[in-house]
Structure 1
């Protein structure tokens, strides 16, 4: 039996960010409660699509769909938008906790996720993990402040169009660290 082919980058992008984009579009035409219901359904469909395409349990989308379901469900059931606004805080704090906890236990959580895509020296994985843990903690704080001081319209715009570019920009700033600690391929000759 052959191993599954990875989904095309465009399809993966659609499955990863489609639910959030639908949330924003529906919110612009309706209200936060309708947008939340759409986000819940779209997240579940996206998770199912990723699971089917990759033929493995995608952990990060699973965490997201569980939290969207729980906090979206509480938002709809109690008619209180606070819960859906708190979800990003909890996701970012959970990521920070997993990364920092993994390092404190002597593990390299980022290597588990990204090891097949890149090879870094042990010190590189450690530095990268601590940086991402601190960054996710920062994002959790930003969201906590944002949902408390911004209007719902402003918060939805920040959630949709602010956090993703901030995460991508932070990832790009990590390129020098990853280059500095990249392991030489076995076929590469050491530089003299």
Structure 2
């Protein structure tokens, strides 16, 4: 199967999120009446986001022939919680979705630590080669990070406005993940399997 161009994957992954943000910004002060019910901007943006994410995921699967387990889990939770928010006209379900995703990821990584299985390495080792100890440390750190993100999402959506949550979800969470990866650059270098002199330590 022909490998897609490098820019395709980021567009398919980030496009639906940015579209959700744009639709929300444009409609947050609007109300749309359908079937005798009034829907605010948050629900409108969610109703756009869910099918667009399904389409983007389907295109990615068609182009690459594969999807990561985390992508599949995320898609299922988006459909379930996004669908509930639109159906019940209640933004809370969609706002809880990141919490469920992060708790799921933390649980999977936590189980892999307890079972002494390198599940994270099995998924990412091709892009980020490290020795077993490096993967163990990264798995522990990512487990704690996902638990922290779940707690942060709960605090933000329960105590702040829709707009604040949307900004937090669209820009805050990706920034936290980026900072986390940068903070672990030393770990990646220290546990690279071909690091010079490593066998003498």
Establish whether TM, by shorter chain, passes 0.5.
yes
Distance 1:34 1:177, change over 3 A: same
Q: Pick one of 55, 59, 62 that aligns with 2:69.
A: 59
Measured in 2, the distance between the counterparts of 1:108 and 1:132 equals 13
Q: Determine helix, strand or coil for the equivalent of 1:23.
A: helix
Q: Specify every segment of 5 or more residues in structure 2 that has no aligned partner in the other structure, as ranges.
A: 28-40
Partner of 2:106: 96
Post-superposition shift, 1:87?
0.3
Q: Distance in 2 between matches of 1:168 and 1:70?
A: 27
After superposition, the Cα gap between the structure-2 partners of 1:61 and 1:190, relative to the gap in structure 1 and judged at 3 Å, is closer
CA RMSD of the aligned region, Å?
A: 1.7
Distance in 1 separating the partners of 2:58 and 2:88: 27
TM-score scaled to structure 1, two decimals? 0.92
TM-score by length of 2: 0.88
Q: 2:9 aligns with which of 8, 12, 15?
A: 12
Deviations 1:55-97 (A, max 9, x none): 1233222111111110011101111110000001111111111
Residue in 2 that maps onto 1:169: 179
Shift of 1:142: 0.2
- 1: CA distance between counterparts of 2:21 and 2:54? 17
Pick from 183, 188, 193 the counterpart of residue 178 of structure 1.
188
SS of 2:93's partner is: helix
1-structure distance, mates of 2:58, 2:198: 44
Does structure 2 conserve the Cα–Cα contact (< 8 Å) formed by 1:39 and 1:68?
A: no
Deviations 1:84-129 (A, max 9, x none): 0000111111111111111111111211111112321111010000
Partners of 2:3 and 2:178 lie apart in 1 by 22
Partner of 2:33: none
Quickly say closer, same or farther: Cα 1:6–1:129, change in 2 above 3 A.
farther
Question: Any unmatched runs of 5+ in structure 1?
Answer: none
Aligned partners of 2:154 and 2:179: how far apart in 1? Answer: 21
Aligned counterpart for 2:133 among listed residues 123, 136, 144: 123
Aligned to 1:35: 45
